Amino acid sequence: MDCLFCSIASKDIPSQLIYEDELVMAFRDINPQAPVHFLVVPKLHIHSLDQVNEAHDGLIAHIMRLIPSLASEQGIVNGYRVVNNCGSDGGQTVGHIHFHVLGGREMLWPPG
């Protein structure tokens, strides 16, 4: 399957990896929107949040529990934003589920 984040997970496409284990990887966004901006991505290909089901409960919990420790490791001290863009109106441009973590500046609300 031709998927950008599967290709990054298999190392066919390089990335600035900050973390990897058997289930997930985290790497810097190529077009950062904040001083710290990385993506947490399951190695399993799941298109979007709409495709998540109970078989993924452990994986999703793992990602959510990992994010605070990665944010801290990356030097974020005053809080951060976790974003999942789902589908076209949600702004999803890569069809492999991923969670943005943005920090190092104050975030605006509501988002654009």
- Tell me if 43 contacts ligand 5GP by CB under 6 A: no
Residue positions counted in the chain: 112
Q: Is 3 in the site for Zn ion (CB under 5 A)?
A: yes
H helical segments located in 1-112: 4-9, 57-73, 87-90
Smallest gap, in angstroms, from Cβ of residue 96 to Zn ion? 3
Q: Are 20 and 26 contacting, i.e. CB atoms less than 8 angstroms apart? A: yes
In the complex, least distance from residue 7 CB atom to ligand 5GP, rounded to whole angstroms: 9
Q: Which residues bind Zn ion (CB under 5 A)?
A: 3, 5-6, 45, 96
